[in-house]
Amino acid sequence: MTIWKYDLGVTGKNLRDAINTDEESIDACVSTLQNILNCINWIDKHCTVDIQDCFSILRSDVEDNLDYFSALNGFEYDIAEDITNGLLQTFYDQCDRCRIWIPF
């Protein structure tokens, strides 16, 4: 059983809510990425510097793709979904490694 050091609280719940929408659109992908970014901002405020550093590259990737998605203008949802799922998996993996709980 994993002992969690940190709990993302409401910020993590908002991410789960964004993921659990039935909407299949670039807007839904943008919402998920924005919520990942909100979680990383929470981590920057509440976690140690070494943990913050673990998320710095992911932050850049999320920000870059938010800009990219805005250029898609609603087209190519499949590409946006694949990118979002990949970044989400990376975020989950980093949270597990750093023992950060994402509540349901």
Residues, the chain: 104
- CB-based contact 101:7 (threshold 8 Å): yes
Q: What is the pLDDT along the chain (104 residues), one digit of tens a residue?
A: 789 999 999 999 999 999 999 899 999 999 999 999 999 999 999 999 999 999 999 999 999 999 999 887 767 889 999 999 999 999 999 999 999 999 98
**Domain parsing of the chain, residue ranges:** 6-101
How far lies 68's CA from each of 26, 27, 34, in Å? 11, 12, 13
Q: What is the pLDDT of residue 76?
A: 87
Q: What is the pLDDT of residue 43?
A: 97
* CATH number for region 6-101: 1.20.120
pTM, whole model, 2 decimals? 0.94
- The region that residue 75 occupies, defined by phi over 0 for left and psi between -120 and 50 for alpha, beta otherwise, is beta
